[in-house]
Amino acid sequence: MQEIKMYLLNVERWSRWIWSIVRAILLIGMGFVVLYPILLKVSAAFKSMDDLYNPTVMYVPQTLTFENFKTAIDVMQYSDAIFNSFALSLVTTVLQTFSCALAGYAFAKLPFRGSNLLFGGVVLTILVPPQTILVPMYINFKNFDLFGLVHLFSGHGVNLLDSYWPFILTAATGNALKSGLFIYIFRQFFRGISKEIEEAAFVDGASVFKSFLRIMLPNAIPAMITVTLFCFVWQWNDTFITANFLPSMNTLTNATLSLPYKLNVLLSGSGTGATTQVDPFEASMLVDTGLLLSILPLIVMYLFVQRYFVESIDRTGLVG
């Protein structure tokens, strides 16, 4: 019996070692898949033209240079682009977080006839890609009218394109990017809060809205952190809706999308009478630098908030 116990202990010990090795390989592999494109852009951003055509240089440049950053910053008008992107993302994040929290509270704590059917429509918005509703949204904001009142007084709608208003209106009404997912997160979190807390507030004379502000929101800090970070990052990274609704505003999205064209004009010497052939490798290197500059603020932000983000994800139950 003693030999059998020792054998089982050895098998269990070896099983733990093997599982640890397999888990480490899986984690390293997934981390490599995620980080490899960023590492390539970091490598290209610091390369000089000599390193670009040196066959012995693969990932680590022989000569570090910041010329690529200077060129990309000048072409992108980086300071203006990052300010506009931050303002847009911040405004939509605040409005969308509050509106989605209010909708999630209503679905969780204020049941009404047809609420399940309406919530099914909210879930459906998670599944429907935004490209399918872009055309009606574009037409609506190009000729915006509120219940016919604008046409009544002016005879025509208001063009809200090339302004923050499409993003403000959709965020304030819970119809912005990924709002269905955020409403679902808040609903699930509010359902886990005890009814006795809210009933005690009602006994003390609190209204529904006051109970939401004073009781529910302070208890929903983990869900608010999760939604806030998701909302900010998705709005910052959005290229589809922003490029269509803000075509002429200098945001990081538009600056990144127009970077190849601007580099083509710059590197070909357009406007100077030159007919220089554009080097595609140099243009690609500068585009990688511009993309790295676009995601750099998010990387810096993640270094400061990653602990709170992980804790909030765990407490909202999204992991399971």
What are the structural domain ranges in the chain?
A: 2-34, 69-315
| pLDDT for residue 260 | 75
State the amino acid at position 25 in one-letter form: I
Neighbours of 77 (CB within 10 A): 13
69-315: which CATH architecture?
Orthogonal Bundle (1.10)
**Tens-of-pLDDT digits for all 320 residues of the chain?**
667 777 677 778 888 888 889 999 999 999 899 888 888 888 888 988 888 888 888 888 888 888 889 988 888 888 888 999 999 999 999 999 999 999 999 998 888 888 888 888 888 888 888 788 888 888 888 888 877 777 777 777 788 888 889 999 999 998 888 899 999 989 988 888 888 888 888 888 888 888 888 888 888 888 888 899 889 998 998 888 888 888 888 888 888 877 777 777 766 665 444 455 667 778 888 888 888 888 888 888 888 877 766 666 655 555 44
Residue 233: Cβ within 10 Å count: 17
pLDDT at 272: 47
To the question of pTM greater than 0.75 for the whole model, the response is yes
pLDDT at 92: 93
**Residue 158 DSSP SS3:** strand
Q: Give the DSSP per-residue string, 76-130.
A: HTHHHHHHHHHHHHHHHHHHHHHHHHHHHHHHHH---TTHHHHHHHHHHHHHS-G
Distance (Å, rounded) from C-alpha 177 to C-alpha 236? 11
